[in-house]
Structure 1
Amino acid sequence: MSEDSYFKFSNRVLLVPMIAVLLIWTVFWVEIRFQINLNQYGIYPRTLKGLRGVFFSPFLHGSIEHLYNNTIPIAILTVSLVYFYRSVSFKVLLWGVLFSGLLTWVIGRPSYHIGASGLIYVLASFIFFKGIFTKYYRLVALSLMVVFIYGGLLWFIFPLKEDISWEGHLAGFITGLLLAVFVKAKLPSVKKYAWELENYNEEEDEFLKHFDEQGNFIESKNDDSESQERTYKIKYHFRKDKTNDQGN
């Protein structure tokens, strides 16, 4: 697959993030509009009832601040995932929600864990590690951008604050790393020049034949023979001087 076809923009790049953002805001609006609290549908670790939160918790948020803090990262990271890893984007999203939720259910404190932050850590971790593993220059650059913008998220996989689900963050980080290792993504074929090929022979390179061992430019024998074979025909055109003709 060529670079042009691999990095081709499609409506999916914007549609998927828009749907994700619309869903989490719609759920929060429903809670406010009808004065209900859906936190009980979050992940409650090591209980059978709490397993339903594996799928529901990413859409639930405790406050407008919590929702706002998750909206921009989920939009930016989802755009990056769908654009740069189009072939595996849905797989990463689905498995990311599932595995990070299950891991949170296993290691979490006995409390309701809600929010899309677990998925955010999945995406940030996957995009960073996958780009490093591929060693493809554009994806490595994307990894560095993720570190530059969201590198501070790493601190929140540790128990720094009691009201933050660091277990969900840690579960998302680990899940993203595992997905980066085991999910195989198609990469674009990088254009190679003649000197980058394995069967490249310097002695047969027409361009290098114009240089000697010291790197000085020389003309090839063919150029010398062609210059010797060239003939030039000169024509002279004489014009009478009208002034002299009139004086005579």
Structure 2
Amino acid sequence: MADTQLERSGTERAKTAGIVMVAWVALLWALEAIDIATGHALDPYGVTPRDLGELRDIVPSAFLHDGFGHVAANTVPLLVLGFLAALRGIRRFAGVVAMIILAAGLGVWLTSPGDTVSLGASGVVFGLFGYVVVRGFVDRDAVDVVVGLLIAAFYGSILWGVLPTDAGISWQAHLFGLLGGVGAAFAFRRRTRPSLVG
């Protein structure tokens, strides 16, 4: 009976995680379609550094992109990494994503060149990568350690994206998103109950 309940809860978590990520990605594509249909009316909601009024755009900027190619580049890694991160619970996942978005957005606001506008979910992708890779070690969970190592092997090449190699790509969002994800692994680590001695 206990094994059946564990299987059912695992299946339900996977189903919920899948629905959340498909809905998220569908939202990104819908927003980009609206942006293009309105002559890029949503692009000003990207982050322009060191303008106090732009702080309010930190959250929306993570959901907007510069064309369908930009959305497409983020879609598969966001689905994969988001699904793996969301398997441990949607409330925890929401907290992790919020921390990543804030870290990436503030990093861009503080350090990007002043004449730029940054937008896109790549900061979240890098953050989820950092979170999924580190989470198992922080939680001392063998399954998550193995998952993290597999993700590091498969997606590890994205770490080149934290280097300032392309003027058209916000390496700042990548770097601070990654740091936010690693920080989130610690901030939202699984709490263990102290053993009772009596």
Q: TM-score per shorter chain, which class?
A: 0.7 to 0.9
> Matches of residues 1-248 of structure 1 in structure 2 within 5 Å?
4=6, 8-10=10-12, 11-86=15-90, 88-110=92-114, 111-185=116-190
When the two structures are superposed, what TM-score results if normalisation uses the length of structure 1? 0.69
Q: Structure 2: how far apart are the matches of 1:145 and 1:84? A: 17
Q: Deviations over 1:79-112 (max 9, x none)?
A: 1011135551111112221232122211222211
When the two structures are superposed, what TM-score results if normalisation uses the length of structure 2? 0.86
Show structure 2 runs of 5+ residues with no match: 193-198
- Runs of 4 or more off by more than 6 Å in structure 1? none
Shift of 1:184: 2.3
Count of equivalent residues: 187
Distance change >3 Å, CA 48–CA 6, structure 1 → 2:
farther
Distance change >3 Å, CA 105–CA 14, structure 1 → 2:
same
Richer in helix (by share): 2
* Aligned-residue RMSD, C-alpha: 2.2
Q: Counterpart of 2:179 in structure 1: which amino acid? A: I
Q: Deviations over 1:12-31 (max 9, x none)?
A: 11121012101110111112
Percent of aligned pairs with the same amino acid = 26
Q: Deviations over 1:8-55 (max 9, x none)?
A: 122311121012101110111112223234221101111012212211
Q: Counterpart of 2:11 in structure 1: which amino acid? A: F
Distance change >3 Å, CA 87–CA 39, structure 1 → 2:
closer
Q: Structure 1: how far apart are the matches of 2:90 and 2:40? A: 37
Bigger relative contact order, structure 1 or 2 (CA pairs below 8 A, ≥6 apart): 2
Structure number, greater radius of gyration: 1
2:47 is paired with a residue whose SS is: coil
Show structure 1 runs of 5+ residues with no match: 188-248
- Indicate the larger mover: 136-145 or 158-167: 136-145
Shift of 1:186: 5.2
Q: Structure 2: how far apart are the matches of 1:5 and 1:186? A: 22
Q: Structure 1: how far apart are the matches of 2:9 and 2:178? A: 26
Shift of 1:6: 9.6
Q: Counterpart of 2:99 in structure 1: which amino acid? A: W
Q: Counterpart of 2:125 in structure 1: which amino acid? A: I
Distance change >3 Å, CA 143–CA 35, structure 1 → 2:
same
